Chains A and B, each alone.
Chain A
């Protein structure tokens, strides 16, 4: 599997709203995070949902977000985080 990103890389989730079955939660779209780990390569759920084979498999990452980048009014401490699994085609280099 050739993965475009490595752990520690800054990434941004694409700000996109295509129709269909998506496994990219709305609340992280357009947000900056950091690659925590590469989970492996998995069939694309956006294709599987319509009965297709989802191939070729695509790299899946865990991306860590600072809560304050997700919710500007977050009430917890600085440094609280959320980790979300995101497929590579939803990620672009971040800042």
Chain B
């Protein structure tokens, strides 16, 4: 049966097109290998199926909201910010975020300096803090272009960095993981940490975007 059959025969004949078929193709090489290794580890009692499930659950519980909480705390507490810039992982642990073996380096946006994160070699990302990376972060287009023409890439995200600002790209090539601490938006004096955290998005913690601006007061 062809799914490209001509439709100029009209639709008065009542045949059932049905829902589109699932796109489940055969497993790829690595999908099959993952399943095989996982099943062997469980069969040999090295890990249990429940431990595997719990590890996935733990991963899924990590999200950019954790990074937003860290950024907001740094905005309201200069001593915390100093500790965060000196040792990112320890400062996250202070807020109850378990970083495991991740060595986090926090790079601070300042007047005349904007930072952006990439991993050109693969897709290193501070997963313990921010959860899974977005697909574009892992794509060859982003990884190869952002070190080569970062201003053009940021423009495609809607982020214009002025010509008299330094743009600094951080390539996570080895054992460190990175998060950008954006600049606190103007017009947020007196805001609570929770309110401030609401302005911090995943993309501004990677550095391809800026924090949301506070809505203009009516």
**Which residues on A are within 8 Å of B, measured CB to CB?**
23-25, 27, 39-40, 42, 45, 60, 62, 70-71, 74-77, 79-87
Please tell me if the beta carbons of A76 and B151 are within 8 angstroms of each other in the complex: yes
Please give, as numbers and ranges, the residues of chain A lying within 8 Å of B169 by CB-CB distance: 80-83
Residue B135 at the A interface, CB < 8 A?
no
B170 touches A83 (CB 8 A): yes
| B189 at the binding interface (Cβ < 8 Å) | no
* B interface, CB within 8 angstroms of A: 103, 105, 120-121, 147-152, 163-176
Residue of A nearest to B163 (CB): A77
**Cβ contacts under 8 Å, B147 to chain A:** 27, 70, 82
Whether A87 pairs with B174 at a CB distance below 8 angstroms is yes
Residue in B149, B167, B168, B171 with the greatest tally of chain A CB atoms within 10 Å: B171
How far, in Å, is A1 (CB) from chain B's closest CB?
Answer: 14
A87 to B149, CA, bound (A): 25
Contact A85 B172, beta carbon cutoff 8 Å? yes
Interchain CB contact under 8 A, B168 and A81: yes
Query: Nearest CB to that of B167 among chain A residues?
Result: A80
